[in-house]
């Protein structure tokens, strides 16, 4: 079983950033309002994610780390309309098979916490342990038992950079959650939670925090609905002068996604109105009925498959094209 989990880990766990992603997404799925992310040596030595979510009951800890056990999907029907971030039940067993792993938690309404340790896939016993409501996952010495994978990890700075970039991507989508990051014992970043996730989904404040004041000042607000689709967010105007291939954020139902057809639509909208050849900067959120999009394409879930890709391409193109044309008029 450890071997199967390690093989699965090859798909889910590429580097420390993928561990952080899976664990923070679990925290959010559990309703966390605050997530603490402590890292050492770019996450290779330690990743500790602590949340104040609903927690896991002591007797369910072994289930949480067993393969294909997910509490998020009860039937194939659910898979069609999946709204949580995780749903495959693969992340924890995969991560635990390639690290020294500890899962501590106290379930909401219970007065005792517990911990389950797993060493390179060897599962220990559930042991009582005081813990505030919520969950802490500790991942030490990633790939210590898979030298071939460990060899491919990059320098501390690089791995940390990947983690920070992913956190920025998340912070843009979830301004309601507080994220506190430390590296090698020093606080490095704090994304303050900004209360409820309001209709617009994102505050001007966090946009500035994430992409800089320059972007915030030059960004055009977009919000358009039609055909059961809603596209909202920010796109840079021509006055924004920074090279921005790395400032392209696109979310489908709150999930950050890479989609060539959508990227093309955005680029085309710009090219046709304003600046030829330039890489546009944008933070855009597409909302649609989850049944119109398949998120079950890739284990790491960066990709989606739209049921009506053409319609979505055209909707994105048209919305942005209109918005940009208006600024010129």
Residue 55 found at the interface with Mg ion (CB under 5 A): no
* Separation between Cα atoms, residue 141 and residue 45, nearest integer Å: 5
Q: Which residues bind ligand ADP (CB under 6 A)?
A: 22, 26-27, 30, 51, 53-56, 64, 70-72, 86-92, 135
CA contacts within 13 A on the Cβ side of 315 = 21
Per CB under 5 A, does 137 bind Mg ion? Answer: no
Compute φ and ψ for 16, nearest 5 degrees. Answer: -50, -40
- CB under 5 to 8 A by kind: which of Mg ion, ligand ADP, none does 51 bind? ligand ADP
Q: Where are the beta strands (DSSP E) in the chain?
A: 34-40, 46-51, 100-106, 114-119, 122-128, 134-140, 178-183, 186-191, 219-226, 229-236, 248-252, 255-256, 282-287, 293-294, 305-306
- What tokens were used for 139? 């991942």
16 touches Mg ion by CB under 5 A = no
Least distance in angstroms from the C-beta of 105 to ligand ADP = 7
Residue 138 β-bridge partners: 48, 102
Residue from 26, 105, 218, 321 that binds Mg ion (CB under 5 A)? 26
Q: Which is nearer to ligand ADP, 57 or 311 (CB)?
A: 57
Task: Name the residue with the smallest CB distance to ligand ADP.
Answer: 86
234 neighbors 221 (Cβ within 8 angstroms): yes
In whole angstroms, the minimum distance from the beta carbon of 179 to ligand ADP comes to: 14
Q: How far is CA 113 from the centre of its chain?
A: 27
- Sole binder of Mg ion in the list 16, 53, 55, 86 (CB under 5 A): 86
Q: How far is the CB of 5 from ligand ADP (least distance, A)?
A: 10
> How many residues belong to the site for Mg ion (CB under 5 A)?
3
Which does residue 71 touch among ligand ADP, Mg ion, none (CB within 5 to 8 A, set by kind)?
ligand ADP
């Amino acid at each position: 079983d450890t071997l199967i989990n390690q093989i699965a880990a090859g798909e889910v766990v590429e580097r420390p950033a993928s561990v952080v992603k899976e664990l923070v997404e679990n925290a959010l799925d559990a309703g966390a309002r605050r997530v603490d992310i402590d890292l050492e040596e770019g996450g290779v030595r330690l990743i500790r994610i602590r949340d104040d979510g609903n927690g896991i009951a002591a007797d369910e800890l072994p289930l949480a780390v067993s393969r294909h056990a997910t509490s998020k999907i009860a039937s194939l029907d659910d898979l069609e309309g999946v709204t949580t971030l995780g749903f495959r039940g693969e992340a924890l067993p995969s991560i635990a098979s390639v690290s020294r792993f500890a899962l501590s938690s106290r379930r909401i309404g219970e007065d005792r916490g517990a911990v389950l340790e797993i060493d390179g896939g060897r599962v220990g016993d559930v042991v009582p342990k005081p813990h505030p409501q919520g969950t802490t996952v500790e991942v030490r010495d990633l790939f210590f038992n898979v030298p071939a994978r460990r060899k491919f990890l990059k320098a501390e700075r690089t791995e940390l950079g990947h983690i920070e970039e992913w956190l920025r991507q998340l912070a843009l989508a979830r301004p309601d959650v507080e994220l506190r990051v430390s590296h090698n014992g020093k606080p490095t970043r704090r994304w303050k939670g900004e209360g409820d996730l309001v209709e617009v989904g994102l505050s001007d404040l966090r946009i500035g925090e994430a992409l800089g004041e320059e972007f915030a000042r030059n960004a055009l607000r977009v919000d358009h609905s039609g055909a059961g689709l809603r596209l909202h967010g920010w796109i840079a105007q021509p006055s924004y002068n920074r090279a921005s291939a790395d400032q392209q954020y696109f979310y489908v139902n709150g999930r950050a996604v890479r989609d060539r057809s959508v990227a093309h639509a955005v680029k085309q909208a710009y090219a046709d109105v304003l600046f030829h050849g330039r890489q546009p900067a944008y933070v855009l959120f597409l909302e649609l009925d989850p049944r119109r999009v398949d998120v079950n394409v890739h284990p790491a879930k960066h990709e989606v498959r739209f049921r009506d890709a053409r319609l979505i391409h055209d909707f994105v193109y048209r919305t942005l094209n209109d918005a940009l044309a208006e600024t010129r008029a």
